[in-house]
Amino acid sequence: MRIEEVRRHVITPLTGPAFPPVVPRFTDREYLNIVYRTDADALRTVVPEPLRVDEPLVRFEVMKMGDVSGYGPYTEAGQAIPVTLDGERGEYLHAMYLDNFPATASGREVSAYPKTIAAPSLHVDHGALVGTLDHGSLRVATATMGYKHHELDRREAEAQITVPTFMLKTIPGYDGSPRVQELVRTEITDIDVKWAYTGPARLQLFQHVLAPLADLPVLEIVSASHILTDLTLAPVKPVYDYLEGAAS
């Protein structure tokens, strides 16, 4: 393969890329969101500057992807933390766990999503919406919500999931030091909320060294929502360069 041909490839392996070069469209993306209050000191320990934490809140989410162009159906779970940057409110994506390797690889390599492989699920069980996350053979999270108890205004539902999101992109150099280290921003676009509900909810987090969700303990459930949408994710843009110590 000639040098100019190599340069046209941005995904490895060269002859069998780990994920497709597409901008995915999410169809029937189903959310279980539980916002909870946690320990403020624990939260500030994991949120990188220049992001700021105002309230000690965390959003635990389980997302069941009905169909994603280039990847097919899969399920994802994780934690997002409400933050501000230069007066703009958004969320810092703290951890994401999913059961699809191509989506994991593309999220980490093309963007900056903190994705790793695990086994999340979302289903209805005897009148309760149940979201779980297993790491290997061990349960690390169980979330339950009353199934479609009260309709939620679709504009409110859209506002919940379209806030800007911030992520940390770090690529090590060959000597082990960071070659790229940036805070990046993205957002959801082209969204269509098909329905949305709210109701009572509970969340249990279990200690695991490789999936430390419980390091942000559940002190109080604040709100819950169950939302079905179609949407697209915008490309990420750098907003702060840690190696230069300045806004990008």
As annotated, the active-site residues are: 115
Number of neighbours of residue 191 by Cβ within 10 angstroms:
16
**Whether 47 contacts 114, CB under 8 Å:** no
Cα–Cα distance for residue pair 3/225, rounded to 1 Å:
51
What type of residue sits at position 173? Answer: G
Q: For residue 169, give every residue at least 6 positions away whose Cβ sits within 8 Å of its Cβ, in sequence order, or none.
A: 111, 112, 180, 181, 182, 183, 184, 236, 238
Cα angle, residue 233 at apex, residues 227 and 235 outer, rounded to 5°: 160
Closest CA to 222 of 55, 86, 70, 14: 55
Residue 216 three-state SS: coil
**Whether 144 contacts 128, CB under 8 Å:** yes
Query: In DSSP terms, which residues pair with 154 in a beta bridge?
Result: none
Residue 103 three-state SS: helix
